[in-house]
Amino acid sequence: MKITLLILACCIALGLGATAQAQQPMAVGVAVGANYNMHSGADLPASVTGVGVIIGGQADISFSKWASVLTTISFDNRNGKYSTSGTESGYDYYEDVAVTVAYLSIEPLFKYVIPDRPWYVVTGPCVGFPVQGKSETIVTTPGFAVDGFESTTINTTIQDLKPRVEWKIGGGYFIPIDKKTVIMMRLTYARGFTEVQKGMDWHVNSISFLASIDFTLGR
């Protein structure tokens, strides 16, 4: 499933490039990176943070020497982990919970290159369509064994996931390799506006790092 989504993302990005090439200068490439996710909300039992992976394709359509629209289509995980503890029936228990929410994301960002410098800034929306949500809970009860084990693993599917809408802002650096090839890196902050799960006060903000190698088409 993940491989299919990745291939789809790259094909869409390349398709955008082929469509726009005849009218505007553009570059297409493959992008990989990671995000640090900060989950928040009244319905979460604890502070939840985690690191996820981003992989996909992108198209950079230029409208002037300094301005362009940088569109990335990617598969990304908004992971998180937290731990809780308590006492029930005289026994202590500890819960370690890992949450994974995966999206197919589309982000058309306005990009402005600082004149005569290898730096640029970006801002714009990002929409993520949920692909999968799951959680793994490990419950440990020292001194109390169930079927001979003091720990139990519970796997659950997260239902009623909602599309993710967020706004991104950040900046980056590019390294020209030759006239048609460039390595791009960018760091962005994303402010999430929508609930992760229907009816839950649960939101995610993220800090993302993405690196790509882009190839200019045509000219």
pLDDT tens digits for range 60-92: 999 888 999 999 999 999 999 999 888 877 778
Q: Would you say residue 64 lies in a domain?
A: yes
Residue-range definition of the domain harbouring residue 62 = 2-79+101-130+160-216
Query: What total number of domains does the chain contain?
Result: 1
Cα separation of the two ends of the chain? 36
Q: With bands split at pLDDT 50, 70 and 90, how would you rate the model's confidence at 7?
A: very low
- Segment (H or E) for 8: helix 2-21
Q: Would you say residue 63 lies in a domain?
A: yes
89: left (phi > 0), else alpha (psi -120 to 50), else beta?
Answer: left
Q: With bands split at pLDDT 50, 70 and 90, how would you rate the model's confidence at 11?
A: very low
169 pLDDT above the threshold of 60: yes
Q: With bands split at pLDDT 50, 70 and 90, how would you rate the model's confidence at 37?
A: very high
- Output the pTM of the full model: 0.83
DSSP state of 11: H
Average pLDDT (129-142) is 92
